[in-house]
């Protein structure tokens, strides 16, 4: 017999590899309400843990294999990784269960000829679990390669981060990426906070105040998505750094607002609530129709005021006759600030793609800026840590678009400060020119970048 959690995790990992799916999306689809809470928790731990630690797990496995792990059939590789992860990281799971169920997963995939191999390799790894990881790595391995193995990240990624952030910050970043991300929830109406906290704690969840925002809370030991507060639109699940981005726009009632790359809609929600009056107008645009349809369903749950949904290609000149007072460009990006939440990205991304993202982002930003009203503000944001997608995009757009400049740091600080908790330091979030940054190893959020630009008055 194979436990439901292991079946789910195995199937998730297979879809991630075969169809380039995102593990979080597949897990969301697989973990329906009929799945027991404990099975959902273990399936999530296994799938995400294997993806985060894939590099280190493959190092362990390769030591016991006569052929390259890349030459194994995918089901065999996944069963080995799942078994090795349980043996090395989940000490409350008996070694016998980890080994035997990995063997059964191979049989389930009609790869019975590999059962002897899987059994032998995992038993050797089980015998080595008392040995610290750093003692298994050859002492003469160059420091960069050693760090790549022990922290389970591609070498090229670590190398560029060390050059940009330094060794200490990079190590903290790697460790942050290998930890499960905090589950953050946005409370949409401050006056309902006490009622919502009571509901979540009654449901058995542990609730803490947000680390950054006074409208956020952190939840553990349960799923807020299964609560009445979520179903009735009182809360949404969203990383705190992501929640902070719309606040930088300082939207007021009656503003004309454009959310250009809007899906999945979490930031649109905040913008719409702040702009909501009969005079205000909020347009949410995205390239993909199916994502806009999903947003419409979300807005119905949240009982949002009217949001106009528009399908368009932001790489082309925008089809609007009017200008907007506030524009958010949450641009498509590499996602290197979300490697704890989306660990598969670290194994898919290639360094040359960063330049491709740069070109895409510059075009989108310039097209958006063409529709910014005089005196209006535009926020460009990404969940990337890379200069090609952040500072270099801003620099190029400012060169190309006349009348556009960076907003003054004190102005940005005033807009953000009112939303911060008493423990959050504004100086830790804004750099010397007022650009917003978070780091997984520092704030325990996703890594976000944002810059506020304004159009000069005519």
Give span(s): CATH 3.40.50.150, the chain.
Answer: 240-455
- Identify the pLDDT of residue 445: 94
Distance between CA atoms of 141 and 182, rounded to whole angstroms? 34
Q: What is the mean pLDDT of residues 41-64?
A: 97
- Identify the pLDDT of residue 276: 72
Element (H, E) at 193: helix 193-202
**Is it the case that residue 367 has pLDDT exceeding 70?**
yes
**Is it the case that residue 32 has pLDDT exceeding 80?**
no
Tokens 């000490």 label which residue? 91
The percentage of residues in the chain with a pLDDT greater than 70, rounded to a whole number, is 99
pLDDT band at 305 (very low <50, low <70, confident <90, very high): low
**Is it the case that residue 280 has pLDDT exceeding 80?**
no
Distance between CA atoms of 340 and 52, rounded to whole angstroms? 7
Distance between CA atoms of 246 and 285, rounded to whole angstroms? 15
Give span(s): CATH 3.30.70.1170, the chain.
Answer: 183-237
Classified as helix, coil or strand, 382 is strand
Distance between CA atoms of 193 and 202, rounded to whole angstroms? 14
- CA triple 383-384-389, angle to 5 deg: 120
Q: What is the mean pLDDT of residues 223-245?
A: 92
The percentage of residues in the chain with a pLDDT greater than 90, rounded to a whole number, is 88
**Is it the case that residue 289 has pLDDT exceeding 70?**
yes
Q: What is the mean pLDDT of residues 23-46?
A: 91
Q: Which residues pair with 180 in a beta bridge?
A: none
Nearest to 284 by CA among 315, 251, 306, 300: 306
Predicted confidence (pLDDT) per residue in 187-219, tens digit: 998 899 999 999 999 999 999 999 999 999 999
CATH topology of domain 4-136: N-utilizing Substance Protein B Homolog; Chain A (1.10.940)
Q: Which residues pair with 450 in a beta bridge?
A: 381, 436
Helix count (H) and strand count (E) of the chain?
Answer: 21, 12
Q: Encoding tokens for residue 30?
A: 């697989």
**Is it the case that residue 278 has pLDDT exceeding 70?**
no
Q: Which residues pair with 256 in a beta bridge?
A: 281
- Identify the pLDDT of residue 457: 82
Distance between CA atoms of 65 and 89, rounded to whole angstroms? 21
- Identify the pLDDT of residue 226: 84
Distance between CA atoms of 439 and 101, rounded to whole angstroms? 37
Predicted confidence (pLDDT) per residue in 155-190, tens digit: 999 999 999 999 999 999 999 999 999 999 999 988
Please compute, for residue 405, the number of CA atoms within 13 A of its CA located in the half-sphere on the CB side: 9
Q: Encoding tokens for residue 343?
A: 């660990």
- Identify the pLDDT of residue 4: 95
Classified as helix, coil or strand, 370 is coil
Mean predicted lDDT score pLDDT of the chain: 94
Tell whether the torsion through CA atoms of 364, 335, 144 and 54 is positive or negative: negative
| Chain centroid to CA 316 | 27
- Identify the pLDDT of residue 222: 84
Write down how long the chain is: 458
Examine the residue annotation and report whether 383 is marked as an active-site residue of this protein.
yes
Distance between CA atoms of 262 and 239, rounded to whole angstroms? 16
Could you tell me which CATH number the domain at 240-455 has? 3.40.50.150
φ, ψ dihedrals at 99, nearest 5°: -70, -50
Q: What is the mean pLDDT of residues 22-39?
A: 89
264: cis peptide before it, omega within 30°?
A: yes
Contact 99, 122 (CB under 8 A): yes
Classified as helix, coil or strand, 377 is strand
Q: How far apart are the first and last CA of the chain?
A: 72
φ, ψ dihedrals at 430, nearest 5°: -115, 135
Distance between CA atoms of 236 and 421, rounded to whole angstroms? 19
Element (H, E) at 246: helix 240-247
Classified as helix, coil or strand, 342 is coil
Q: Which residues pair with 142 in a beta bridge?
A: none
- Identify the pLDDT of residue 71: 95
Q: Which residues pair with 236 in a beta bridge?
A: 186
Give span(s): CATH 1.10.940.10, the chain.
Answer: 4-136
CATH topology of domain 183-237: Alpha-Beta Plaits (3.30.70)
Distance between CA atoms of 12 and 407, rounded to whole angstroms? 44
φ, ψ dihedrals at 186, nearest 5°: -95, 130
Q: What is the mean pLDDT of residues 217-226?
A: 90
Q: What is the mean pLDDT of residues 260-285?
A: 86
pLDDT band at 141 (very low <50, low <70, confident <90, very high): very high
- Identify the pLDDT of residue 277: 62
Q: What is the mean pLDDT of residues 229-258?
A: 94
Nearest to 107 by CA among 6, 31, 19: 6
């Amino acid at each position: 017999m194979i436990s439901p959690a292991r079946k789910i995790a195995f199937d998730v990992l297979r879809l991630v590899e075969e169809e380039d799916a995102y593990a979080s999306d597949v897990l969301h689809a697989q973990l329906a309400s009929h799945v027991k809470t404990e099975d959902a928790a273990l399936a999530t731990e296994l799938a995400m843990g294997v993806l985060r630690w894939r590099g280190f797990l493959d190092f362990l496995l390769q030591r016991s294999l006569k052929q390259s792990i890349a030459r194994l059939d995918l089901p065999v590789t996944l069963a080995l990784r799942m078994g090795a992860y349980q043996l090395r990281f989940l000490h409350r799971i008996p070694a016998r269960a980890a080994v035997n169920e990995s063997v059964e997963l191979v049989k389930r995939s009609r790869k019975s000829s590999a059962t002897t191999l899987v059994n032998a390799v995992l038993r050797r790894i089980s015998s080595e679990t008392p040995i610290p990881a750093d003692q298994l790595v050859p002492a003469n391995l160059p420091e960069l390669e050693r760090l790549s193995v022990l922290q389970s990240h591609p070498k090229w990624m670590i190398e560029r981060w060390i050059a940009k952030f330094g060794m200490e910050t990079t190590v903290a970043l790697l460790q942050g990426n290998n930890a499960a991300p905090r589950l953050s929830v946005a409370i949409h109406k401050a006056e309902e906070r006490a009622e919502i906290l009571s509901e979540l704690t009654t449901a058995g969840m542990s609730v803490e105040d947000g680390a950054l925002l006074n409208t956020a809370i952190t939840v553990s030991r349960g799923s807020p998505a299964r609560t009445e507060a979520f179903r009735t639109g009182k809360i949404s699940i969203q990383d705190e750094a992501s929640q902070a981005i719309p606040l930088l726009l300082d939207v007021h009632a009656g503003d004309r607002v454009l959310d250009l790359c809007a899906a999945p809609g979490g930031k649109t929600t905040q913008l719409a609530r702040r702009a909501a009056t009969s005079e205000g107008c909020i347009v949410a645009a995205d390239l993909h129709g199916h994502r806009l349809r999903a947003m419409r369903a979300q807005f119905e749950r949240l009982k949002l005021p009217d949001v106009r949904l528009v399908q368009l290609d932001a790489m082309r000149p925008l089809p609007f006759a009017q200008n907007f007072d506030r524009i958010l460009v949450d641009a498509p990006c590499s996602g290197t600030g979300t490697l704890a939440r989306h660990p598969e990205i670290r194994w898919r991304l290639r360094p040359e793609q960063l330049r491709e993202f740069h070109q895409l982002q510059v075009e989108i930003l310039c097209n958006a800026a063409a529709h910014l009203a005089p005196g209006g503000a535009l926020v460009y944001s990404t969940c990337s840590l890379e200069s090609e997608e952040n500072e270099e995009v801003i620099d190029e757009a400012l060169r190309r678009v006349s009348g556009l400049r960076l907003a003054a740091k004190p102005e940005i600080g005033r807009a953000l400060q009112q939303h911060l908790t008493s423990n959050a330091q504004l100086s830790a979030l804004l750099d010397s020119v007022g650009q917003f940054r978070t780091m997984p190893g520092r704030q325990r959020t996703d890594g976000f970048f944002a810059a506020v630009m304004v159009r000069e008055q005519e």
